[in-house]
Structure 1
Amino acid sequence: MTSASSGVSTLSAGLRVWQREALQKYLDAAPKDYLAVATPGAGKTTFALTVARILLDQRVVDRIVIVVPTEHLKTQWAASAARLGISVDAEFTNSSAVNPAHHGVAVTYAQVGMKPTKHYQVATARKTLVILDEIHHAGDAKSWGDGVRFAYDQAERRLALTGTPFRSDDSPIPFILYKDIDGAQVSQADYTYGYSEALADGVVRPVVFLAYSGNARWRDSAGEEYEARLGEPLNAEQTARAWKTALDHKGEWIPAVLAGAHTRLLQLRQSVPDAGGLVIATDTTTARAYAKILERISGTRVTVVLSDETGASDRIKDFSDGTDLWMVAVRMVSEGVDVPRLAVGVYATSASTPLFFAQAIGRFVRSRRKGESASVFLPSVPVLLDLASTMERQRNHVLGNPDRPNEGWDDELLVQANREENEPDDQKGYESIGAEAELDFLIFDGASYGTSTVAGSEEEQDYLGLPGLLDADQMKTLLRARQSDQLDARAREDAARRDSERSAQGPGADATGAGSHRDRVASEELPELRKKLNTLVAAKSARTGRPHGAIHNDVRRNCGGPPTALCTAQQLRDRIAYLRDW
């Protein structure tokens, strides 16, 4: 065995199976360009740095350049590289020279976009391997993409990495191969390792999504009040306002959901003592407000990370290395937050693109020991529920399909968004009145479990108290059992209530119990009917695998009437009867 092959064997010995396969494919092909697509948390950094170490040892390259989306990731990559004996200068700027004491430098896409000629000189002065982390940020026709293509076009080798190889536009990503499929140009990866594969291999954690709904109320500029149930089929304006009302830190929904998330985190810490939680907020104002709520709930200090503030990277590192319970971050920082101990998340932002959602959920899937699971709390909004149900889907970047829905954000707005003090108010005249929180159902492995129950109830506690160490099969089995118990308990409650009502009416009462409706006021009857309707929807969802929202939509289309929150008692009974006959 040659010394070179011996070195490769030594370096690859500790790699995961997918990393060894991808490495061998890379070494066999010795390509100028290579795209590795691996789900967040699978170990893309380790794979890329192993390639770098081998190429340096074999004198294929003499310099390493690592390009990343955020400043924090520069220091994170440098620390990881040091563990393989690679010295990377994370302090390199557009006005400094390359220090020959280092093997290379780490820079951001923004740096390259601002001074591409400088980075061209760095990459061509010596034989250079350029590692392009989260390459989807470098779409052509953007300043970052133009800069990246110019700066690294003549580099010796380029290794592109991403967990989400898609964008919202038709701008080709530099150095990525596209293939014509049915008239559209589809990005082609050299190696792909998806979430479903990683979950089966035990490389990532299973993620349970807890979807919270509830009635939201708001007032427009004319003083007219509106009410809608979060998660029901609504028009775009109603959905946006119900969603915004739920996320209002002055309301009741967010404190209730944060309390549930804290309870879940404490449960997980019984098995994983250092488990931490992350709340992803829309803007800096709400981030600070959420932190204050969490401090009241937990009685502990909460770390707030705003990526435009000095010391943000240090706060992330301190939280990662410590055992504090909670961190709150503005939504745009999610891709730069890499804290392996994160196990509970609260998706408290209005961002709803597949790109952002995948990156955000990627913060919670990194597995450290067998059986670890993650729990993510989110609003019961159709677009988010669909993303949660299809998390394992592998998406590629497709060109030539301009009519597809907008699925991403403008990369050049990243820095601007991080500097915004508040979310722009695009709903002038809107005033939040309040929103109640209910645990609508849970999503795991694309299937729905459970039925609606109010926050703070014993039924909610049953789900928040799921054991912290469960593999995917155990989680699925336990969720099925909890759902069955919940539905059985609801059936017993309904039967007991009907018996009690018939007894109270005497022997001449209508056997159907219909007479009981006349003596009850709406405030007593409507919540029970909504609960019964949601129970039936959950049962249908469990049997058919269809999302709750889709079933609600079918029922409303066939029975007519307004959203559930605005239904009369008779309209609710009609929907219940329809579901029973379905």
Structure 2
Amino acid sequence: MEKRKWQAECINLALDKYTSGNKHFLALATPGAGKTFMASALGNEIIKRELADIIICFSPSSVVCEDFSETLESVIGERFDGLLGSKGRSLTYQSMKYLDEDFWMLFQKYRVFVIFDEIHHCSGSNIENANAWGEKIILNIRDNAEFTLAMTGTPWRSDTAPIVLSHYSSFTNKIRCDYVYGLSKAIRDGVCRKPQIIVIDNDNISLTDKGERKSFSSFKELLTQSVFPYQDIIQNEQLLLHTIRQANDRLDKLRITNPTAGGLIVASSVEHTTQIEKLMAEHFNEAVTVITYREDEPTKLIHHYRQSSSKWVVSVGMISEGTNIPRLQVTCHLTRIKTEMNFRQLQGRNLRITDAPNQDAFLYMPAEPKLVEYAFRVAQDIPFEADVVKFEKMSTHFKAKQKDDDTNEGHIDKVPEDKVKGSSNKNINIEEERLELGEFEERVYPQITPTNEKNPLTNTYESMMNIFGRFKQETLELGLSTLE
């Protein structure tokens, strides 16, 4: 496989840094640009030049870990299973806490080149402010590795903690990267697809709660001026049906020219995936691949979906950062996680260029305020591209209505309680309020200029992600308190 221009530039710069006495190198490349191959090709050069003896790679999930192992073996032509005679091993960050002294002694006996994928998961400039993974890196790798390559597509942490092995500007307090390859350049180079973000909103919303009726002109107003939770919006059946209908129609059009094009729906919970699977079957006659930590061998399911031509995969956190499924071209953001890091990583799942005739990429999402802010930031990253963010609004009344309200205003009938059970409204207090949506009409609105107000990133980092395990869910420990 021939190296892309940016990959060759990054490799040459890293080698220059290493041979000039610098041990650590940080590369920022937009999600979908090809960091795995670049790191493997750099490792190949290091082995060929006899600058290191073995290669150890750490990554945030089992799927990415396996991808790295396969790519390293393919590029270097050596085994990476960690057994006698191999050139190294690919591991997850979670495995660090199980590595014994015999493993860490490898750094004393051999010259080790270490690759860190998505290094932003590891925090700490010293032992005092490090998370669990950052502490292991500081104690065992920082001073003992021959060289390190740290990579990220989102070079920040929402908890504002410093990223391990990184340096920050004393003037701007921003991270200093040794090499940067942004989305704008990747699109111009034909490495990544142009993102097209479809934001779903409504300007005619009413909420009836305990007899009191309030009106709202957007989801933003509903969420900021009432106690109505975002979780109930993304679980609402009518909103789901509209989002899925638009995304499914778009995917059908793409599959006319790209028969293997796929779509990803990111849900908020295992129960949410079950709800979406049922709606897909009943309303669209679509069978979907569901991948959660509860499935038997979810890693194999991801690999099978990657190699197949089936349309839709529904997951919670299994298909996230670093997961390589190039045929994905449509994504539905229906998770309750609202950090910019998660948004950028999900958006990156469908930006990988393939040899298919049509390279369009679409992300559908509700008009939740933070998500809209992140969408406009993406648009600002690629100012030469028009219509990156488009708004689609409901044409009929959006009602959140009390169950025992007998006024029956408007033309939307009450939903019988037996129809509500088992649907998206199951988590809504039926005695308090119920959400009803009318039908949607597709209308594209001009891109709105975002506000100049600087809103800080959310202070809550995802302290828990779905990681592969046959019988239980494993968590990513990010230095925060463990969530049960």
Q: Which bin holds the TM-score, normalised by the shorter protein?
A: 0.7 to 0.9
The within-5 A match list for 1:320-359 is 320-331=306-317, 333-335=319-321, 337-359=323-345
Q: Closer, same or farther in 2 for the Cα pair 1:216/1:339, shift >3 Å?
A: farther
Is 1:376 aligned to 2:363, yes or no? Answer: yes
**Distance change >3 Å, CA 227–CA 82, structure 1 → 2:** farther
Distance 1:316 1:216 in 2: 39
The TM-score with structure 1 as length reference comes to 0.63
Aligned to 1:105: 89
The 1:213/1:200 distance shift into structure 2, 3 A limit, reads: same
Matched, 1:275 2:261: yes
The residue aligned with 1:319 is: 305
- Aligned twin of 1:5: none
Query: What does residue range 236-251 of structure 1 map to in structure 2 within 5 Å?
Result: 236=224, 238=226, 241=228, 243-249=230-236, 251=237
* Aligned residues of 1:69 and 1:110 also touching (Cα < 8 A): yes
Q: Deviations over 1:138-160 (max 9, x none)?
A: 01221121122223121111000
Per the TM alignment, residue 306 of structure 1 is displaced from its structure 2 partner at its CA by 0.9
Structure 1 residues 224 and 116: CA distance shift in structure 2, 3 A: farther
> 1:521-555 CA deviation, whole Å, 9 max, x = no partner?
xxxxxxxxxxxxxxxxx4xx55xx525x99xxxxx
Summarize the Cα distance change of 1:137–1:224 in structure 2 as closer, same or farther, 3 Å threshold. same
CA offsets 1:505-532 (integer angstroms, 9 cap, x no match): xxxxxxxxxxxxxxxxxxxxxxxxxxxx
Question: Which structure shows the higher helix fraction?
Answer: 1
Q: Is the partner of 1:349 in helix, strand or coil?
A: coil
Equivalent pair of 2:156/2:163 in contact (CA under 8 Å): no
Matches of 2:365 and 2:327, distance apart in 1: 20
Judging changes above 3 Å, is the alpha-carbon distance between structure 1 residues 235 and 298 closer, same or farther for their aligned structure 2 residues? closer
Contact 1:280 1:346 in 2 (8 A): yes
Partner Cα distance (1:291, 1:235) in 2: 27
Q: Equivalents in 1 of 2:296, 2:113: separation in Å?
A: 31
2:201 partner SS? strand
Q: Distance in 1 between matches of 2:245 and 2:170?
A: 50
110, 125, 148: which is aligned to 1:158? 148
Larger RCO of the pair (alpha carbons < 8 Å, separation 6+): 2
- Counterpart of 2:164 in structure 1 is 174
Is it true that 1:147 corresponds to 2:136 in the alignment?
Answer: yes
Aligned CA distance change for structure 1 residues 117 and 393 (closer, same or farther; 3 Å): farther
- Contact 1:245–1:433 (Cα < 8 Å) also in 2: no
Separation (CA, whole Å) in 2 of partners of 1:299 and 1:203: 35
CA contact (8 A) 1:217 1:245 kept: no
* Contact 1:217–1:434 (8 Å) recurs in 2: no
Checking the alignment, whether the CA contact within 8 Å between 1:37 and 1:161 is kept in structure 2 is: yes
Please report how far the alpha carbon of residue 225 of structure 1 lies from its aligned counterpart in structure 2 after TM superposition: 5.8
Following superposition, the deviation at residue 179 of structure 1 comes to: 2.3
> How far 1:300 sits from its partner (Å)?
3.4
The answer to whether residue 176 in structure 2 is matched with residue 188 in structure 1 is yes
Secondary structure of the corresponding residue to residue 84 of structure 1: helix
Relative to structure 1, the CA distance from residue 299 to residue 257 in structure 2 (aligned partners, 3 Å threshold; closer, same or farther) is same
Matched, 1:202 2:190: yes
Q: CA deviation at 1:88?
A: 5.1
Specify the alignment match of 1:121 in structure 2. Answer: 105
Structure 1 match to 2:378: 391
Structure 1 residues 350-374: Cα deviation after superposition (integer angstroms, max 9, x where no partner): 2211111111111111111365011
Aligned match for 1:287, one of 253, 268, 273: 273
The percent of aligned pairs where both chains have the same amino acid is 27
Shift of 1:172: 2.0
CA contact (8 A) 2:10 2:179 kept: yes
Q: Which amino acid aligns with 1:137?
A: H
Query: What letter is aligned with 1:99?
Result: L
Bigger drift between 288-297 and 344-353 goes to 288-297
Alpha-carbon separation, structure 2, partners of 1:430 and 1:190: 57
What are the Cα deviations for residues 48-103 of structure 1, in whole angstroms up to 9, with x where unaligned? Answer: 0000011111111111111000112111111222221344546xxxxxxx412321
Distance 1:64 1:119 in 2: 13
Paired residue secondary structure (2:86): coil
Question: 1:391 is paired with a residue of what secondary structure?
Answer: helix
Secondary structure of the structure 2 residue equivalent to 1:390: helix
Indicate whether 1:55 and 2:27 are aligned. no
1:361-400 Cα shifts (integer Å, max 9, x gaps): 1111111136501111100122111211111667xxxxxx
Give deviations 1:245-303, integer Å, cap 9, x for gaps.
32125x31111211111111001111211000000011111012112212234423211
Q: What is the Cα deviation at residue 39 of structure 1?
A: 0.2
Q: CA deviation at 1:428?
A: 7.7
Q: Which residue does 2:249 correspond to in 1? A: 263
What letter is aligned with 2:281? E
**Amino acid of the structure 1 residue aligned with 2:141:** Y
SS of the residue corresponding to residue 228 of structure 2 reads helix
State the shift of 1:168 in Å: 1.9
Give 3-state SS (helix, strand or coil) of 2:114's partner.
strand
- Paired residues of 1:114 and 1:147 also in contact (CA < 8 A): no
- Which segments of 5 or more consecutive residues in structure 1 lack a partner in the other structure? 1-10, 91-97, 395-422, 438-453, 461-482, 484-537, 551-582
Contact conserved, 1:209 with 1:388, CA < 8 A, in 2?
yes
Out of 78, 92, 115, which is 2:69 matched to?
A: 78
Moved more, 115-124 or 319-328: 115-124
Matches of 1:237 and 1:122 in 2, distance apart?
A: 57
Quote the Cα distance in structure 2 between the aligned partners of 1:272 and 1:116: 48
* Distance change >3 Å, CA 283–CA 432, structure 1 → 2: farther
Cα distance, 1:18 vs structure 2:
0.9
Match of 2:479 in 1: none
Specify the SS of the correspondent of 1:337: coil
Structure 1 position 233, deviation (Å)? 3.9
Instruction: Quote the Cα distance in structure 2 between the aligned partners of 1:252 and 1:64.
Output: 51
Q: Which residue of 1 aligns with 2:477?
A: none
Contact 1:334/1:363 (8 A) holds in 2: yes
Task: Give 1 or 2 for the bigger CA radius of gyration.
Answer: 1
Cα–Cα, structure 1 residues 81 and 217, in superposed 2: closer, same or farther, change >3 Å?
Answer: farther
Distance 1:432 1:230 in 2: 18
Counterparts in 2 of 1:258 and 1:170: CA distance versus 1, 3 Å: closer
- Separation in 2 of the partners of 1:89 and 1:292? 41
